[in-house]
């Protein structure tokens, strides 16, 4: 079996397993509640953490940019 064919078969098996798991989860109320609770937790903790990381990176990038700018043009006043 060629590698490309093997990958296609593996992808099809994984897709079928994912669809089967989704059906079982959606048809079983306790599992559905568990998954929805986990998704809610992931969203409420993941988005603020991502936003904090992005703001920190932007802050650091703007700080390093302004210090480079002052180093190149010491006559320029900021603030």
| Tens of pLDDT, residues 20-36 | 999 999 999 999 999 99
Structural contact between residues 25 and 31, judged by C-beta atoms closer than 8 angstroms: yes
| The pLDDT of residue 64 | 76
In the chain, which residues have pLDDT < 50? none
User: What percentage of the chain carries pLDDT values higher than 90?
Assistant: 76
Tell whether pTM > 0.85: no
Q: In the Cβ-directed half-sphere of 33, how many Cα atoms lie within 13 Å?
A: 2
């Amino acid at each position: 079996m060629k590698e490309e064919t093997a990958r296609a078969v593996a992808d099809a098996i994984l897709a079928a397993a994912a669809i089967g798991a989704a059906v079982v989860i959606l048809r079983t109320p306790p599992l559905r509640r568990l998954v929805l609770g986990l998704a809610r937790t992931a969203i409420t903790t993941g988005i603020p953490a991502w936003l904090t990381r992005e703001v920190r990176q932007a802050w650091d990038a703007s700080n390093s940019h302004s210090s480079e700018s002052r180093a190149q043009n010491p006559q320029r006043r900021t603030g």
